[in-house]
Amino acid sequence: MKKSVSITIPTLNEELNIKRCLDSIFRQKFKGRLEVFIVDGGSTDKTLEIAKTYPVKILRNPYVNAESGKIIGLRAGTGEYFMILDADMDLQGIDWFDKMLRPLLENQSIAGSFTKFVAKKTDSLLSRYITIDSIQRDPLFRFLTPDPEQVIEDKKPGYWVCKYSPKQIVPAGFCLYRMKQIKELKLHKRKKFMELDTLSLYLKAGKNHFAYVPSAGIHH
């Protein structure tokens, strides 16, 4: 059976970024179904004009802020898996979904999978500096939070199984999640989707295993 992934992208005047983001999604050689929602907070530029040239579904976000838009997209999603992307992100390579889904398919105890951020030569010095850290933490945040390497429970071909605890949560909120578990935790009933708060809610529910997939990569 083909797998399905729902992707929510909150937007507000993202005409300079949205094409690169959508190109990175639709160039993937994924054999499953991709369901992409553009949840727009009232763009006045060409964001929606560009988005309409792709096979996406456009939803309106009357609350404008991105966190509310993420919930709107989550509620509309019908895929087995769910993820959020910012409009200024792009997926690396052409087998991104296959890499990110692998740990979820192989291990039912894994709640979500995440990957590292990558930089390009054309990025600003600040962006390249922040991306020295694989999950783009500033120096203070890096001091206060664990690296993926610090919470490894097991190393599998293509990914690492990480076990979180209340004081050891890798602050990597852009995860690929199981939609069934999202519904079980009633995250779709919240007013906003906050990436790091979501990780804490998973942990409180006893879902403390996440997979780090370093070979996938997201440019931000």
pLDDT single digits (tens) 1-54: 679 999 999 999 999 999 999 999 999 999 999 999 999 999 999 999 999 999
Question: Which strands sit side by side in the sheet containing 117-118, from one edge to the other?
Answer: 90-91, 218-219, 117-118
Note the pTM of the prediction, 2 decimals. Answer: 0.96
Cβ–Cβ < 8 Å for 21, 85: yes
Q: Which of 125, 131, 51 is nearest to 87 (CA)?
A: 51
pLDDT single digits (tens) 84-103: 999 999 999 999 999 999 99
What pLDDT is recorded for position 19? 98
Q: Which of 54, 58, 47 is nearest to 8 (CA)?
A: 58
